Amino acid sequence: MFKFPDKYRLKDKGFDDFMVSYRMPARCGFLQVIASLEPDWEHVSVIKMAGNHCKTPSWSEMCTVKDFFWDDEDEVIQFHPPMSEYIDVIDALHLWRPTERNKLYPRF
């Protein structure tokens, strides 16, 4: 089940119940996380900030984020699109989980 926990929630950023921003502590910096509930997807975007620099989050940091937003037995995926479709200009990683309405992934 997708959760929007209050522990690190940034309430002053103008987000609503369907999109929230978090700042989570991480080794050598912090993780800037935006979580959103879209019609067919639960989605989390993660950037690691170290000083004034963006870095790609580590596997263990992404596992921490997964555990923060989803239950232990929830299956969450990370897509690797064709390089021609890359749109990120920063080192963000994304986690996705289809909702029950998502017809592309009927087993969820």
Strands (E), the chain: 9-10, 19-26, 29-37, 41-50, 53-55, 93-98
Is pLDDT above 90 for 95?
yes
- CA proximity to 19, closest of 30, 31, 7, 9: 9
The confidence score (pLDDT) of residue 59 equals 92
What is the Rg, in whole angstroms, of the alpha carbon atoms belonging to the chain?
14
Q: What share of the chain is helix, strand, coil (3-state, %, to 5)?
A: 15, 35, 50
Q: Report the DSSP beta bridge partners of residue 54.
A: 49
Instruction: Identify whether the C-beta of residue 60 lies closer than 8 Å to the C-beta of residue 45.
Output: no
- Given a cut of 90, is residue 76 above it in pLDDT? yes
Query: What pLDDT score was predicted for residue 105?
Result: 65
Over the stretch 9-45, which tens digit does the pLDDT of each residue have?
A: 776 656 555 667 777 777 778 888 888 888 888 999 8
Q: For residue 12, what pLDDT is reported? A: 61
The 3-state DSSP class for residue 29 equals strand
Q: Give the residue extent of every domain in the chain.
A: 9-98
